[in-house]
Amino acid sequence: MIAVKKGFSAALLLCVAFAASCADDLAKVTLVLGDQARNLRSLVEASGVMKDAPYQFRWANFQGAAPLFEAQRAGAVDTSYAGDLPVLMAASGGVDLKIIATNVGDSATNGLIVPADSPIHSVKELAGKTVVVSSARGSISQHLLYGVLEEAGLKRDAVAIRFVLPTDASAAFNSGQIAAWATFDPYLGIAEQHGARLLRDSKGLTTSLSFVTATESSLKDPQKRLAIADFARRLAKARAWGIAHPDEYNQVYSSLTRLSPAEAKPITARISHGIRPVTTEDIAKVQQVSDLFSSLAILPGKVNVQAITDTSVFEAR
C-alpha cells in the first residue's frame, strides 16, 4: 500500500503507483517558467540541466518582479523567481503562489548608487533628495533603502521615493536625471561598470534570500506538480554547476543578455550561492520582513509565510 501526504489527490496516488503511466502524462505537460532579466534561463541553458526534462517548457522573461507577478496573477506562468519582499507583496495582494525553493543570494547584487560625478558621498547627504527605486513598491530595493536610511539615522520620509521599472530607470540614470538609484543586478552591475558609485549594498540589511514560487493552481494538477518539483531540483543542480563553472556560465549569460563577457563577469560572479529546499530558518527570517512591511503599511495585508510555503514540492516524485 502506498502512503501519501494528506491533501494529495487520488490522481496523484495513481500517478505514483503507476510510474510508466505517470511518465506518459508528464510528456503532455508544458510549464511556463517565469524569469527576471534571464537569470534562470541563462543558468539552465549553460548547465544543460533541462535537456532531458520529461515535459515541455518555455520561458517568459520580465524586467522586474512586479510585471512577473502580474503574469502569475493572470495564470500566465507556472513558476516565478523573485526576492523575499516582492514575493510577500504579491502574496499580500492576492497572487496565487506557493514558495517552493530558496535561492541564497549575494548582498552585493542589490545596491544604492549615485552617478560618478555626484556631490553625494554619504547616505546622510540624501536628505531632501529624490531616490529612484526599482522596480515597484514592495521591491527588494525599497527594503534596502529603508535599511540604509535607518542605519544612517534618517527617517524614511527624509527622501522622496519614485518607483521606476529598471530599464527606464537605467536610461534616466545614464542621462543624469537621477540623483540616487536603489536597484539590483544586472542593472546595478551595468551601472557600476559605467562609473556609478556604490553608497551601500544590502549586506546586513536584508535577508538576500530569493524564492522560486509556483502558481497554486498549477500545483493542484498532479502532473504539473511533479514537473514543477523536477524543475526545482534541476535548478539546484544548475546553480551548483554555475558556481563550479563560472566561465562557461558567464559566456551563456552574456549572450542572452547581450552584455560583453567582460561586462557580464562581475554580475555572474555574485549571482547566487545556491538553490535548496526552504528551511524553517528561511521562513522565520522572511516572516520578520513580512511583519515589518505590514506594520509600515507597504504590504496590503499581513502574510503568514508558513502558509504560503510548500516544503513538500521540492521532493515530490
For the segment 209-240, what is each residue's pLDDT rounded down to a tens digit? Answer: 999 999 999 999 999 999 999 999 999 999 99
Band of pLDDT at residue 10, cut at 50, 70 and 90: very low
Mean pLDDT of 296-313: 96
State the pLDDT at residue 116. 96
State the pLDDT at residue 25. 86
Percent of the chain topping pLDDT 90: 88
State the pLDDT at residue 204. 95
Show the cell assigned to 180.
540616487
Q: Does pLDDT of 18 surpass 50?
A: no
Mean pLDDT of 34-62: 96
Band of pLDDT at residue 35, cut at 50, 70 and 90: very high
Mean pLDDT of 136-162: 96
Greater pLDDT, 305 or 256? 305
Q: Does pLDDT of 23 surpass 60?
A: no
Give the pLDDT confidence of 67-119 residue by residue, as tens digits. Answer: 999 999 999 999 999 999 999 999 999 999 999 999 999 999 999 999 999 99
Mean pLDDT of 196-219: 97
Band of pLDDT at residue 22, cut at 50, 70 and 90: low
State the pLDDT at residue 24. 67
Q: What is the mean pLDDT of the chain?
A: 92
pTM: 0.87
Mean pLDDT of 145-158: 97
Mean pLDDT of 258-268: 93
State the pLDDT at residue 135. 85
